[in-house]
């Protein structure tokens, strides 16, 4: 009876130990150093800032498609590409100039590109102008607006008087062309215009309507008809300038792209989910969330009950709380925002709530589909050449993983007890197996000792009776 009391829990402990050990080895542990490795690759000069419409942007799309194929995901559309067309900024032949000329065409002043002026990518509906004081001119403290032939041009002094920041391209922006200038250039231009000179400006960009691709695949769930959960990130960024500076976009958003890739490897290893998990790498976020707007609109019926977890800028080294970003119309009581905030509180994760339409969740919120963006709201380097992998920190990547994985396990893996607690099960089953084995061995040892003693006693008893017999 005593032996059974030990053997049964010992067998259970050993089985639990073996099962959790097996699970441990079959799981691809989320490795943030691999995320950093991919951030490094996507933000390198090889991909030239991944501007939508460029060859390098196509190459990233192809790399992501290849990755989904390699991980054996199912294509959301025929070949993982979800195509759409939109306006993109397009580099054309020629060199930029900003000059001042007199009425005979003599050049009075030639400003230097990158030092005195530089294009802003906001729009290139037009790319050249010659104007003077007879045109519609509005002179302000920090800008100069010139209107000609119903087109409007803005020459403005950016924040901090530097040209480091490169804007997103917005094809319905107010002005037709934007030029950044220093405050010195602004003062000079004002003077030349007042004196009756002509100002001439050209930047070698125009706008082209192009076909772009989102990249989308999914892990099929047990119930493919259940509303899916969607994990997304945008892979494009703002390209290069005419001086050859690459805007690598390590944080924005090579980080989210690389994060989703590593998350896919982890999820693929933990078994079949209960519902479909969709992964979408959006294109053209930096052109006004064009990829996500297309996707949300095109598949709104399929997505209406789903949850979208978008990842945009994860891995800041500025020790920020994880931002759970809802749309402008959301509040802390919006169900998905509330649910994820509670999840963070429960896991002692530092978070903040943010409500802005400044990433790919916007298009889904406009259609009342649950969506948030996870983000390290660090705007100190983004959209500048300084957004480099050197400033990426794995700690906040791991934090984001903890939250996203918990939400996924709850929502797509039915709160699987083994997935959540496997490490503890492994630890405790190992300890209890050792303790119970020792008790069992002790018990066996005591039992065999008792048997030896009994044998010895009976041996002595026999010998004693033999001796008695002989002595008789
Ligand atoms: Zn972004």
Query: For the chain, what is the HEC assignment?
Result: CHHHHHHHHHHHHHHHHHHHHHHHHHCCCCCHHHHHHHHHHHCCHHHHHHECCCHHHHHHHHHHHHHHHHCCCEECCCCCEEEEEEEEEEECCCCCEEEEECCCCCEEEECCECCCEEEEEEEECCCEEEECCCCEEEECCCEEEEEECCEEEEEECCHHHCCCCCCCCCCCCCCCEEEEECHHHHHHHHHHHHCCCEEEEECCEEEEEEEEEEEEEEECCCCCCCCCEEEEEECCECCECCCCCECCCHHHHHHHHHHHHHHHHHHHHCCCCCCCEEEEEECCHHHCCHHHHHHHHHCHHHHCCCEEEEECCCCECCCCCEEEEECCCCCCCCHHHHHHHHHHHHCCCCEEEEECCCCCHHHHHHCCCEEEEEECCCCCCCCCCCCCHHHECHHHHHHHHHHHHHHHHHHHCCCCHHHHHHHHHHHHHHHHHHHHHHHHHHHHHHHHHHHHHHHHHHHHHHHHHHHHHHHC
Residue 15: closest CA among 444, 426, 439, 443: 426
What's the confidence (pLDDT) of residue 181?
Answer: 97
What's the confidence (pLDDT) of residue 466?
Answer: 62
> 202: how many CB neighbours lie within 10 A of its CB?
17
Q: Between residues 431 and 470, which one has the greater pLDDT?
A: 431
Q: What is the pLDDT of residues 308-343, one digit of tens each?
A: 999 999 999 999 999 999 999 999 999 999 999 999
316 alpha carbon to ligand 1 midpoint, in Å? 13
Q: Between residues 424 and 155, which one has the greater pLDDT?
A: 155
Q: What is the pLDDT of residues 104-147, one digit of tens each?
A: 999 999 999 999 999 999 999 999 999 999 999 999 999 999 99
How far is the C-alpha of 404 from the C-alpha of 337, rounded, in Å?
Answer: 13
Q: What is the mean pLDDT of residues 79-104?
A: 96
CA atoms within 13 A on the CB side of 338: 6
What percent of the chain has pLDDT above 70? 95
Are 312 and 237 within 8 A, CB to CB?
A: no
379 alpha carbon to ligand 1 midpoint, in Å? 10
433 alpha carbon to ligand 1 midpoint, in Å? 50
Least confident of 49-63, 190-204, 403-417: 403-417
What's the confidence (pLDDT) of residue 27?
Answer: 84
Characterise 80 by phi-psi region: left (phi > 0), alpha (psi -120 to 50), beta (else). left
17 alpha carbon to ligand 1 midpoint, in Å? 43
CATH 3.40.228.10, applies to 31-89+211-415: no
93 alpha carbon to ligand 1 midpoint, in Å? 29
255 alpha carbon to ligand 1 midpoint, in Å? 9
What's the confidence (pLDDT) of residue 427?
Answer: 80
What's the confidence (pLDDT) of residue 462?
Answer: 67
What percent of the chain has pLDDT above 90? 78
65 alpha carbon to ligand 1 midpoint, in Å? 20
Cα distances from 61 to residues 64, 177, 266, 449, in angstroms, run 5, 29, 21, 72
- To 5 degrees, how large is the angle CA 283–CA 254–CA 267? 90
Residue 23 pLDDT more than 90?
no
Residue 470 pLDDT more than 60?
no
Mean residue pLDDT across the chain = 92
Least confident of 79-93, 226-240, 417-431: 417-431
How far is the C-alpha of 403 from the C-alpha of 315, rounded, in Å?
Answer: 14
Q: What is the mean pLDDT of residues 368-388?
A: 96
349 alpha carbon to ligand 1 midpoint, in Å? 23
Residue 1 pLDDT more than 70?
no
406 alpha carbon to ligand 1 midpoint, in Å? 24
258 alpha carbon to ligand 1 midpoint, in Å? 13
Residue 295 pLDDT more than 80?
yes
140 alpha carbon to ligand 1 midpoint, in Å? 32
134 alpha carbon to ligand 1 midpoint, in Å? 42
Q: What is the pLDDT of residues 410-466, one digit of tens each?
A: 999 987 666 666 777 778 878 888 888 888 888 778 877 777 777 777 777 766 666
pTM exceeds 0.85: yes
72 alpha carbon to ligand 1 midpoint, in Å? 27
How far is the C-alpha of 419 from the C-alpha of 26, rounded, in Å?
Answer: 12
63 alpha carbon to ligand 1 midpoint, in Å? 19
358 alpha carbon to ligand 1 midpoint, in Å? 8
What's the confidence (pLDDT) of residue 451?
Answer: 76
What's the confidence (pLDDT) of residue 17?
Answer: 80
60 alpha carbon to ligand 1 midpoint, in Å? 16
Place of tokens 């250039």: 185
> 237: how many CB neighbours lie within 10 A of its CB?
33
């Amino acid at each position: 009876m005593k032996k059974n009391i030990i053997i049964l829990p010992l067998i259970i402990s050993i089985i639990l130990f073996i099962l959790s050990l097996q699970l441990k080895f079959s799981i691809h542990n989320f490795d943030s150093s691999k995320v950093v490795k991919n951030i490094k690759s996507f933000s390198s000069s090889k991909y030239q800032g991944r501007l939508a419409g460029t060859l390098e942007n196509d190459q990233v799309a192809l790399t992501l498609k290849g990755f989904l194929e390699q991980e054996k995901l199912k294509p959301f559309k025929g070949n993982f590409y979800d195509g759409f067309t939109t306006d993109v900024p397009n580099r054309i032949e020629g060199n930029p100039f900003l000059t001042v000329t007199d009425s005979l065409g003599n050049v009075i002043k030639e400003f230097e590109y990158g030092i005195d002026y530089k294009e802003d990518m906001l729009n290139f509906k037009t790319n050249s102008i010659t104007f003077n004081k007879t045109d519609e001119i509005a002179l302000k403290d920090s800008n100069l607006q010139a209107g000609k032939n119903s087109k409007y041009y803005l020459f403005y002094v950016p924040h901090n008087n530097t040209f480091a920041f490169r804007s997103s391209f917005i094809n319905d922006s107010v002005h037709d062309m934007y030029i950044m200038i220093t405050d010195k250039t602004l003062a000079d231009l004002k003077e030349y215009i007042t004196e009756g000179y002509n100002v001439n400006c050209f930047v070698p960009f125009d706008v082209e309507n192009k076909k772009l691709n989102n990249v989308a695949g999914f892990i099929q769930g047990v119930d493919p008809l259940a509303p899916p959960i969607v994990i997304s990130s945008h892979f494009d960024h703002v390209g290069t300038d005419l001086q050859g500076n690459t805007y690598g976009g390590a944080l924005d958003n090579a980080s989210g792209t690389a994060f989703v890739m590593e998350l896919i490897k982890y999820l693929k290893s933990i078994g079949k989910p209960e519902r479909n998990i969709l992964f979408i790498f959006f294109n053209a976020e930096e052109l006004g969330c064009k990829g996500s707007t297309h996707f949300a609109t095109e598949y709104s019926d399929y997505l209406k009950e789903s949850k979208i977890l978008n990842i945009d800028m994860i891995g800041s080294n500025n020790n920020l709380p994880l931002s759970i970003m809802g749309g402008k119309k959301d509040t802390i009581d919006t169900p998905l925002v509330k649910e994820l905030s509670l999840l963070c509180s429960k896991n002692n994760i530092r978070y903040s709530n943010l409500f802005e339409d400044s990433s790919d969740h916007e298009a889904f919120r406009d259609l009342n589909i649950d969506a948030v963006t996870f983000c390290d709201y660090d705007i100190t380097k983004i959209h500048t050449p300084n957004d480099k992998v050197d400033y990426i920190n794995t700690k906040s990547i791991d934090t984001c993983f903890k939250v996203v994985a918990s939400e996924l396990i709850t929502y797509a893996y039915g709160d699987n007890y083994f997935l959540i607690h496997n490490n503890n099960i492994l630890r405790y089953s190992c300890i209890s197996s050792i303790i119970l084995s020792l008790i069992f061995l002790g018990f066996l040892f005591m039992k065999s000792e008792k048997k030896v003693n009994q044998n010895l006693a009976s041996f002595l008893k026999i010998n004693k009776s033999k001796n008695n017999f002989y002595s008789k």
